[in-house]
Structure 1
Amino acid sequence: MRMPAAKKVKSLPPADVEAIFARFHEIEPEPKGELDYVNAFTLLVAVVLSAQATDAGVNKATKRLFQLAPSPAAMAALGVEGIEAEIKTIGLFRNKAKNVFALSQQLLERHGGEVPADRGSLEALPGVGRKTANVVLNIWFKQPTIAVDTHLFRVGNRTGLAVADNPLAVEQILLKVVPERFMLHAHHWLILHGRYICKARRPECWRCPIREWCRYEPKTPAPNGA
């Protein structure tokens, strides 16, 4: 996964990292992802479909898909064309349909129709990379993983929480610096912060709850009338 270059800032000291996650926890103790799912399998499919697509767009497409095929067996029975017909509003839907069909078959053939709880087995599935595996491990299996998408990569580098030039390095830094008691929800807090406040083109610094610790400069002023 290629990420945009980030302006280098100094890494935050441990006390500031602790303060940032304490503030996130204070605001939203139990952050949730925004993809809809009904079980581990539909979560996996939703995350695979979310690559280069919005969560809202994926949810719209999967509402009927998950009614028709909430299990690997039902999804495989739809076939590639049947899956395509349900997800054609999502970008790259043809390739994604092939991956969803193939991963459904592999789950049936190699895992008894169950979603595996280990990274290696997940990443061996078609269309499943490290980020997707981390999301499933975190949300469904409650493992303290960090799923680095473009939002989290941007927030890590802008704030000084994790200054690095590739997603894996950002992930590894966060696994070291985030206090253990905040680790389970860390990636949700950071992704949602990047999606709604620390935006790519114009971060909304004037309403940022962690601005006092953030290294990003100059802070974006409030628009007129805000």
Structure 2
Amino acid sequence: MASQASATPARRPRARRLKPAQVEELFRRLKWLDPKPTTELEFSTPYELLVAVTLSAQATDVGVNKATRKLFPVANTPEAIAALGVDGLKPYISTIGLYNTKAANVVAMAEQLIEHHGSEVPRERAALEALPGVGRKTANVVLNTAFGEPTMAVDTHIFRVSNRTGLAPGKTVRAVEDGLMKAVPAHYLHDAHHWLILHGRYVCKARKPECPRCPIHDLCLYKDKTPGDPEA
């Protein structure tokens, strides 16, 4: 007869998490290095931002900016995009991955904004997520960057940084988002999205994180840090 101990499945060890004081210090440092962070996507209106973020899925901000620098002087309103149509839009964004699908979504989005929202970008999450090509992450970016809402748009960079550092470990994007909303101090929450993306993009890289020059090296719980003496 199996013993009770052997019959009970072993519990997985809980993911290590930073303590509140460490989280506070982490964001204090990131803010000191970059007091006013923002997206690297180029835009001048909420609608331009919405289009740019929609185009940025599985694409780089640099690539999207190259396309929108040509597109926005020609068409940067829902009416102008709808008038271009899918075939008219494609040449402007053909250098971006999945441009056929994105062209269809952006034109359909423009038509819905005209028909249901008076050509204005809605400020409500449900209305944003109801637009073609807009998911939770895109809605979070627009709510945060265009309208100043304290949202957390978890992309691959934020997901990686949150798990590596122990800031908000989670197995899914939504779990990490929810964890960050609880862990990040309120006075840092508005800008935290941008700090974490930039940190993941330029320091905490996927293949080889640049741990020796990381400003939060001593706080991070990542056990496979790249070797080297941290810079002052």
Q: TM-score range by the shorter chain?
A: over 0.9
2:66 to 57, 60, 71: 60
The one-letter amino acid of 2:187's match is R
Paired residues of 1:38 and 1:70 also in contact (CA < 8 A): no
Equivalent residue number for residue 197 of structure 2 = 191
SS class of match (1:98): helix
Instruction: Tell me the equivalent position of 1:42.
Output: 48
Aligned residue for 1:97, secondary structure, equals helix
Show the counterpart of 1:164.
Answer: 170
Which residue is equivalent to 1:29?
A: 35
RMSD: 1.1
1:217: Cα distance to partner? 1.5
- Single out whichever of 64-73 and 153-162 deviates more from structure 2: 64-73
1:83 to 70, 79, 89: 89
The structure 1 residue matched to 2:151, chosen from 124, 145, 155, is 145
Dislocated runs of 4+, deviation >3 Å: none
The Cα offsets for residues 90-140 of structure 1, whole Å up to 9 and x where unpaired, read as: 000000000000000000000000000010000000000000000000000
- Between structure 1 and structure 2, the one with the greater Rg is 2
Aligned length: 216
Distance 2:40 2:228 in 1: 27
User: What's the TM-score once normalised by structure 1's chain length?
Assistant: 0.94
Secondary structure of 1:68 counterpart: coil
Question: Please, which runs of 5 or more residues in structure 1 have no aligned partner?
Answer: 1-7
Distance 2:156 2:179 in 1: 16
Larger relative contact order (Cα-Cα within 8 Å, sequence gap ≥ 6): 1
The CA deviation at 1:64 is 1.3
Residue 101 of structure 2: which of 83, 86, 95 is its match?
95
Separation (CA, whole Å) in 2 of partners of 1:218 and 1:52: 27
1:169-214 deviations in Å (ceiling 9; x for gaps): 1000110110010000001000000000000000000000001110
Verify: 1:209 aligned to 2:196, yes or no. Answer: no
Specify the code of the residue in structure 1 equivalent to 2:106.
V
Match of 1:74 in 2: 80
Q: Percent identity?
A: 59
Q: Which runs of 5+ in 2 are unaligned?
A: 1-13
Secondary structure class of the residue paired with 1:105: helix
